[in-house]
């Protein structure tokens, strides 16, 4: 397919879908996009309930080059700030290029409801820009999440994005789609984790995601995953060095090719906290 036509196709497809709430984080990308049960700095975007389990200030950056086309780049900056009760999360994401760009600025909050459960909420400001002719559009959306650690091995979670069906334009009463996710995570050991997730959006079929993470050595991770809609495989590696985490991954579509992802995050004060506990 001609690259120009490919860019146009994905640009207008994204417009029609009203900007899906894309997953961020190279770790999640390597796990087939399954992220709703994870609790890290990227929970500020993926599931605000995960913020409730964070104890340290943290920050993260993520970039994805979809199908190796710079016009389809997707980037994100996230941060987490724990307070006395709960954790605030900040996120900013951007997708596209000068002729078509969609961005989201979000504020989230997650709080533990007991030792094993957490709930979260997010408020987002959405912005869309289409060339010089169609101009810009803006909207607000909300999202809600739950996460429960049923045992040391099992974690379940659910997340809903845009239940308010925010309207993006007055023309044809166009609304941003809602998105519902449900996931399960199982830890066989400290070295092995398996995760599964189902995602359903207003205008798309159910997307089943799944992945496995294995740590053959301390602080080094190997990951692989798949998702069904669209059908893609994913793989990646990760290194965690005393709070500094580097993740590298890529998904693969048998027609459109590779979409590499990279993520970098840091947890502040983690070393000090561990020494105090010791």
**pLDDT digits 0-9 by tens, 79-98:** 999 998 999 999 999 998 88
Averaged pLDDT for residues 71-77: 93
**pLDDT digits 0-9 by tens, 179-196:** 999 999 999 999 999 999
Whole-number pLDDT of residue 97: 86
* HEC secondary structure over the chain: CCHHHHHHHHHHHHHHHCCCCCCCCHHHHHCCCCCCCCCCCCHHHHCHHHHHHCCCCEEEEEEEEHHHCHHHEEEEEEEEEECCCCEEEEEEEEEEECCEEEEEEEEEEEEECCCCEEEEEEEEEEEEEECCCCEEEEEEEEEEEEEEECCCCEEEEEEEECCCCCECCCHHHCECCCEEEEEEEEECCCCEEEEEEEEEECCCCCEEEEEEEEEEECCEEEEEEEEECCEEEEEEEEEEECCEEEEEEEEEECCCEEEEEEEEEEECCHHHHHHHHC
Domain ranges for the chain: 3-277
**pLDDT digits 0-9 by tens, 219-238:** 999 999 999 988 999 999 99
CATH number of 3-277: 2.40.160.40
Q: At residue 169, does pLDDT exceed 90?
A: no
Q: Are 7 and 71 in contact (CB under 8 A)?
A: yes
pTM: 0.89
**pLDDT digits 0-9 by tens, 245-274:** 999 999 999 998 999 999 999 999 865 444
Whole-number pLDDT of residue 132: 67
Which of the two residues, 123 and 5, has the higher pLDDT score?
A: 123
């Amino acid at each position: 397919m001609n690259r120009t036509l490919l860019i146009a196709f994905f640009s207008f497809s994204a417009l029609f879908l009203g900007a899906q709430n894309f997953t961020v984080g190279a770790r999640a990308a390597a796990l087939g996009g399954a992220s709703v049960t994870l609790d890290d700095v990227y929970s500020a975007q993926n599931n605000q309930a995960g913020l409730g389990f964070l104890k340290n200030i943290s920050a993260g950056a993520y970039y994805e080059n979809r199908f190796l086309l710079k016009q389809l780049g997707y980037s994100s900056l996230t941060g987490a700030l724990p307070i006395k009760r709960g954790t605030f999360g900040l996120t900013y994401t951007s997708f596209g290029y000068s002729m078509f760009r969609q961005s989201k600025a979000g504020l989230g909050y997650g709080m533990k409801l007991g030792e094993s459960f957490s709930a979260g909420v997010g408020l987002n400001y959405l912005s869309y820009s289409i060339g010089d002719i169609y101009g810009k559009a803006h909207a607000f959306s909300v999202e809600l999440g739950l996460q429960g650690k049923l045992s040391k091995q099992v974690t379940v979670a659910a997340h809903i994005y845009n239940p308010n069906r925010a309207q993006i334009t007055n023309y044809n009463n166009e609304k941003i789609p809602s998105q519902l996710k449900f996931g399960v995570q199982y830890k066989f050991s400290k070295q092995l984790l398996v995760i599964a997730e189902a995602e359903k959006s207003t205008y798309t079929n159910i997307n089943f995601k799944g992945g496995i993470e294995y740590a053959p050595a301390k602080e080094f991770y190997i990951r692989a995953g798949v998702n069904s809609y669209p059908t893609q495989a994913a793989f990646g590696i990760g290194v965690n060095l005393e709070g500094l985490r580097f993740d590298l991954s890529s998904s693969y579509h048998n027609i459109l090719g590779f979409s590499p992802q990279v993520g970098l995050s840091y947890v502040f004060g983690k070393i000090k906290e561990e020494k105090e506990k010791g």
